[in-house]
């Protein structure tokens, strides 16, 4: 039998999974029959994020140790809705995605040639920052309920979701609104820790884009000068 190799599309698979999760999650999160679909996309994101570690034995071990509990508790929380299990899931997922972000960034900044895969990876990092911060917000809200002010119509329509801590889809939306510095104001941080995290995410988003553009331009100029 020949050696099994990872598909050649690299970071594109992870990018497709992330975009699908962001598009599908808001529409299906509140409907119980459709929740497995959201879990499937979340699982796909975890699986496709293995790409940067395939040729790094030690990093692959760390990936496995972080991915396993993130995967397990993602499905356990689906079967057993409780604030404690959700808190554990959010904490594991936050750690896992932070590790993935750092790993992909190190991969990007080691490259000396601009490729389509490098661009896909750069977009993935931006999306992963938003997802990771959403899990951090979810951990904070579960530990300290009331850290965020949610829209009143949502609270009235979904009281059980807030009480059980199942508000990740809203925090995911809030995370990307903050990351992009849109600041709609429909969800607001209500406590000093939440406000500090929101400010830090906004700063991270702006610095990431500035540093990334500078890096890509630097690579382009370097390659042009060599030619």
At 58 the pLDDT is 85
Residue 2 pLDDT greater than 70, yes or no: no
CB 79 within 8 A of CB 159: no
Residue 131 pLDDT greater than 50, yes or no: yes
Separation CA 135–CA 90 (nearest Å): 5
Q: Is residue 5 part of a domain?
A: no
Which range (48-62, 148-162, 191-205) has the least confidence?
148-162
Average pLDDT estimate for 142-160: 77
pLDDT digits (tens, 9 = 90+) for 95-126: 999 999 999 998 888 888 888 888 899 999 99
Model confidence at 80, in pLDDT bands (50, 70, 90)?
Answer: confident
Q: What are phi and psi of 188, to 5 degrees?
A: -135, 145
Q: Is residue 208 part of a domain?
A: yes
Separation CA 95–CA 3 (nearest Å): 32
Where residue 53 sits, what CATH number does that domain have? Answer: 1.10.287.70
Separation CA 159–CA 166 (nearest Å): 10
Query: How many separate domains does the chain show?
Result: 1
Diameter of the chain measured on Cα atoms: 63
Q: Is residue 105 part of a domain?
A: yes
Domain span at residue 129 reads 11-226
> Which are the contacts of 82, defined by CB distance < 8 A and separation ≥ 6?
164
Q: Is residue 4 part of a domain?
A: no
Model confidence at 42, in pLDDT bands (50, 70, 90)?
Answer: confident
């Amino acid at each position: 039998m020949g050696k099994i190799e990872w598909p050649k599309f690299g970071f594109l698979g992870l990018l497709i999974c992330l975009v699908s999760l962001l598009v599908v999650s808001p529409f299906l999160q509140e409907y119980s029959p459709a929740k497995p679909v959201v879990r499937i996309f979340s699982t796909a994101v975890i699986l496709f994020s293995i790409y940067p570690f395939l040729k790094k034995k030690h990093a692959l071990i760390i990936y496995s140790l972080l991915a396993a509990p993130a995967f397990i508790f993602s499905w356990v929380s689906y079967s057993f809705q409780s604030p404690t299990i959700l808190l554990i899931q959010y904490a594991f997922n936050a750690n896992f995605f932070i590790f993935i972000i750092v790993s992909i960034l190190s991969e990007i900044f080691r490259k000396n040639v601009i490729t389509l895969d490098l661009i896909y990876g750069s977009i993935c990092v931006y999306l992963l920052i938003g997802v990771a911060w959403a899990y951090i917000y979810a951990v904070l809200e579960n530990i300290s309920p009331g850290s965020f002010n949610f829209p009143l119509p949502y609270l009235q329509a979904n009281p059980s979701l807030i009480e059980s801590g199942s508000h990740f889809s809203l925090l995911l939306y809030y995370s990307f609104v903050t990351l992009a510095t849109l600041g709609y104001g429909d969800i607001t941080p209500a406590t000093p820790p939440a406000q500090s995290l929101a400010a830090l995410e906004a700063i991270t988003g702006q610095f990431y884009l500035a540093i990334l553009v500078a890096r890509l331009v630097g690579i382009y100029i370097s390659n042009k000068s060599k030619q």
